[in-house]
Amino acid sequence: MKSRKLLLPMMAVAVLLANGPALAAGDPAKGKRIFNKCKACHHLDKNKHKVGPTLAGLIGRTAGTATDGKSKLFRYSKAMKKAGANGIVWNAENLDKYLTKPKAFIPKNKMTFPGLKKLTDRANVIAYIESQEK
């Protein structure tokens, strides 16, 4: 009976550990190809917005703010500004959640993209975005 009680928590830890390294092990070269899906609306040049905001300097940036820390450079939705005011900062974990299903992570945001279903695709595109920050 004791072994059964330990099995469920051990399985939960295994699932968490399995998801972490996959995200951390993203391939920027593969992510560059996946980023082509993002290019229609986003740019990686600082202060160069398209339909969506620039993704330059995204890592570590508060949601709903542009590269200067203010929202005046891009007209963010009220939902995105509220997410930032509530403490959402773009890191690999939050990007993974957002890119899985943007409308579920931040309801009523303006992004129409449905999301990237594959964990490896999300990890790769995040690795690519991170590689552009260096």
Residue 10: CATH number of its domain: 1.10.760.10
pLDDT at 7: 43
Q: What percent of the chain has pLDDT over 90?
A: 60
- The CA distance from 67 to 71, in Å, is 9
- Structural domain tally of the chain? 1
Q: Is 60 exceeded by the pLDDT of residue 22?
A: no
pLDDT at 74: 82
Q: Supply the range of the domain harboring residue 14.
A: 2-131
How do residues 41-84 score in pLDDT, each as one tens digit? Answer: 998 888 788 889 989 999 999 999 876 655 557 889 999 999 99
Q: Is 70 exceeded by the pLDDT of residue 31?
A: yes
**75 Cβ contact partners less than 8 Å away, ≥ 6 residues apart:** none
